[in-house]
A and B are shown apart, each in its own frame.
Chain A
Amino acid sequence: IVPTQGELKFHYTVHTSLDVVEEKISGVGKALADQRELYLGLLYPTEDYKVYGYVTNSKVKFVIVVDSSNTSLRDNEIRSMFRKLHNSFTDVMCNPFYNPGDPIQSKAFDSIVSTMMVQAC
């Protein structure tokens, strides 16, 4: 689901979802060592789409926004998507030329993310 339109709206959604993620993280008393906790699940069903959260061990947060109309996406599929995302992200991180915080310009990463999204649709 490519946010080609209303990109601003998606940005807004992602930002608000970050608040939810923060709340969830702070709510967990124990150490975040499990992927079970890394995957935050359905953050907040709102309006016409769902937001899924996922946080890595390094506090990097992934947010996936999905149309509510697309009910074919099961929870496990979302998890697999997050896993792929995480793997691609670690590959990008391994690159010593990549400064954490820069927008990711890795073509391989982009291709993988695009492929994943196409599959999800």
Chain B
Amino acid sequence: MESLTLSDVEQKYYSELFLSCDVDNTKKVASNGKVLDLFRAAQLSNEVVHQITELCGATRLGHFGRSQFYIALKLIALAQSGLALRVESLNSVRDLPLPRFVMGKNEQETRHAVMFADTENQGSYFPRHPGRVQAKKVSAHEMIQPCVPTVDPQPDTTSPVVSPHQSPPTSPHAWRKHKRQASGGNVDRQPSVPGVVWPPFREAQPGPVTGDGMWSAHSPPPVQESWVSFTDTPPSSTLPMHPPSAQPESTTVRTVPSAMTTNEIQRQISGYDDPWKITDEQRQYYINQFKTIQADLTGLIPGSAAKEFFTKSKLPILELSHIWELSDFDKDGALTLDEFCAAFHLVVARKNGYDLPEKLPESLMPKLIDLDDSAGVPEPAPEVGFSASPVEVTPNKSPSMPSLNQNWSELNQSNEQWETFSERSSSSQTLTQFDSNIAPADPDTAIVHPVPIRMTPSKIHMQEMELKRTGSDHTHPTSPLMAKPPELSDETKLAATIKFPGTTVGDGYSSSDSFTSDQEPISSAVNRQRSHSGTSPEGLKVVAPPPPPPRPHASHSRSSSLDMNRNFAAVPAGPQQPGVVAFPPAVPPRPLPTQTSVPHGHRSVEGDGLPAHTSTSPHQMPEQPNFADFSQFQAFAVDQPADDGENASDSGQAERCAETTGTMKTAKNDVQSEERNATTVNSTKVSTPLAPPPKPVRRRLKSEDELRPDVEDLPQKSNIIATVLATQPSIPRSIGKDKKAIQASIRRNKETNTVLARLNSELQQQLKDLLEERISLEVQLEQLRPFSHL
């Protein structure tokens, strides 16, 4: 083959074209079909095309290699310039304009594809891009005027790929050729163009699709010329499209161009109104590009693939980063079709010289797919809802854009919030505060970052208390939410046991947040979210307490409550199942007291048991636990079959409560309690069991402040019981045989009580010791730390 020297421009252009024809991606051979189509598009006669093919040696080789292709292109240029096709002229002719091919409007977009698909020619295109501005209108006029179609940036990005920016000499040159071409083309066009039609704006989509691959290889500079020629040819090319009006006469050409220009102008005008709007062709083009990366239109393009893709556009990384921030709406690191189109559009705009917006324009919002009137975009619509699971709800529901954006961003935030909170959790002891002041005032704002909801630790218990009493108020907003995702309901259940520090609280709150945001599209107001999130902690607790009615009893108390819960859980079962209780009689004198009058004896013993039980609680929570316990007692009291049983359980629970929260009782206190018990016993019955126990309990709490070791506790306890029991026989027995059964059950309960109380006291003592150790260690650490760093 003859050596072929190409200028840089030509080199780039030809490689572009080659790649466009390189459908098989072999990088070496251009498929004959494509090449022939391309050549035909050059608006040369078939005979000329044949000649060129022969000259370049393709007929010899049977295929178009790169060199053959280039030679062919050069020959085409020659032919188009009207020069004789001679091999010698390949290198001799200077300033040969690049071969022109009839390209559709789509080519401008496909050209864009070339930029990205053609990795080899990156450098060639993009230096020209800054100057690239599309101005169909102007160029349309240029078709009539031989002016250079350099157009300043206009806010019309409907065909962003066009870049009429070119050197003056070439354009008139091209223009001249246009005329020639037009005249010559008209003759040839009809037979040759059909397969190569350039679809005017009005045309249907299928056309450009086929043309895409073909013309993707055109580089910007030739595009400029060709683009100029397009304006000429479009009107002409419409001829075959409109057979009725197809007439080779120039008059028709004149009129058609005018029609085209008006169309273009109209299109452009509409584009002016919304510079960021994506036209149908563009969108279709973007979709095609999306397909090259991700075949599934409903799928996502991973960040790395998108990065490579957009890096090909040779934009600065910073700008690409900015574009990514704008377009990745759900911040998932991947692009849906919508996001991809938006990003692509932004890149295109940027290449045309438009500055990137600070926030995503409305027309580029991902959910806008639904609002697009483009015909070829039904596919992306479902994919919009596909992007994020909870976010799915939003796009399909809300028709209005601003609210949708708002909801989407909130949902996204909530998603993030939910996701992040599921990862990190906050301890209940240091309950984090959450601010519920999410208010994207501007719906176009890209992302408003999630703000945690505020909640103070001190309120937790209060809220719990409140909720127990006024749970209904909050259940309504929360119940529908809670009904939703099962996994979140698990979290709320976890949150139900709020007393367990750490994970549950955070998760519970976050889940409620996400719930609230899920409700957003339905409720449609940010305020709702705010107010709801304000109530969500409470609502959370509403959900929390109901499941296990006895459970909340544990929530309000801290460390020692664990034991308390266990105890109470065990205790209620005890009275109800007298036979189950099988505690070894740890205290020998136990059986005796039950012989005495049931209420009295029981009371007194239990009252003694109360002080006897040593409970050392470092925490100062006398009031509340008692409070909750007693409500519990009432609950249990209702369940108890026998009054005495109730009394027993109630008292037992009161004792438990007192034990855990109280402290060691000295003998003196025991005596006091005995007296108190005697008095309380006198005034007893079911209705009043709760009242007296709290009083003695509280009195004990107030009186105690000492901590005794377990060892002392037990003997003291036994001593106390012994003394009490000794006093009991003095109590007159007025109960008959019929109460012996009850007494037996009471005895068993007492056994349980004593054993559990002893356990409780021991554990609490251990806990106290450990806490002391911890405090000392912390102090040491604090003392040591500054020294290590100074």
A complexed with B: yes
Q: Closest CB-CB distance, A47 to chain B, in whole Å?
A: 12
A83 touches B331 (CB 8 A): no
Chain B residue nearest in CB terms to A86: B420
A90 touches B451 (CB 8 A): no
Cβ-neighbour of A105 out of B321, B331, B425 (below 8 A): B321
A interface, size bucket: 20 to 34
Q: Does B358 contact A (CB under 8 A)?
A: yes
Cβ-neighbour of A80 out of B317, B318, B451 (below 8 A): B451
Which residues of A lie under 8 Å from residue B785 when comparing CB positions? 44
A34 touches B502 (CB 8 A): yes
Cβ-neighbour of A87 out of B425, B432, B449, B502 (below 8 A): B449
Q: Does A112 contact B (CB under 8 A)?
A: yes
If A94-B331, A108-B446 touch, whether A36 touches B430 (CB-CB below 8 Å) is yes
Q: Mark B5-32, 1 if CB is under 8 A from A, else 0.
A: 0000000000000000000000000000
B424 touches A34 (CB 8 A): yes
Complex CA–CA separation, A60 to B434 (angstroms):
23
Binds A, one of B283-291, B302-310, B390-398, B540-548: B302-310
Complex CA–CA separation, A95 to B446 (angstroms):
14
Which of A57, A86, A97, A98 neighbours the largest number of chain B CB atoms within 10 Å of its CB?
Answer: A97
If A94-B331, A96-B324 touch, whether A44 touches B450 (CB-CB below 8 Å) is no
B321 touches A35 (CB 8 A): no
Q: Does A67 contact B (CB under 8 A)?
A: no
Cβ-neighbour of A108 out of B325, B332, B427, B789 (below 8 A): B325
Which residues of A lie under 8 Å from residue B310 when comparing CB positions? 97
Complex CA–CA separation, A57 to B419 (angstroms):
14
Q: Closest CB-CB distance, B592 to chain A, in whole Å?
A: 51
Cβ-neighbour of B452 out of A23, A34, A83, A95 (below 8 A): A83
A96 touches B318 (CB 8 A): no
B303 touches A94 (CB 8 A): yes
Which residues of B lie under 8 Å from residue A94 when comparing CB positions? 303, 328, 331-333
Chain A residue nearest in CB terms to B419: A90
A88 touches B449 (CB 8 A): yes
A96 touches B307 (CB 8 A): yes
Chain A residue nearest in CB terms to B326: A108
Complex CA–CA separation, A57 to B420 (angstroms):
11
What 16 additional pairs, Cβ within 8 angstroms, besides A97-B320, A98-B321, A108-B446? A34-B424, A34-B427, A34-B502, A44-B785, A44-B786, A74-B433, A83-B420, A83-B432, A84-B449, A87-B417, A87-B450, A94-B303, A94-B333, A95-B321, A96-B307, A97-B310
Binding site for B on A (CB under 8 A): 16, 19-20, 23, 34-36, 38, 44, 57, 74-77, 79-80, 83-84, 86-88, 90-91, 94-98, 105-108, 112
Binding site for A on B (CB under 8 A): 303-304, 306-307, 310-311, 317-318, 320-322, 324-325, 328, 331-333, 358, 416-417, 420, 423-427, 430-435, 446-447, 449-452, 454, 456, 502-503, 506, 785-786, 788-789
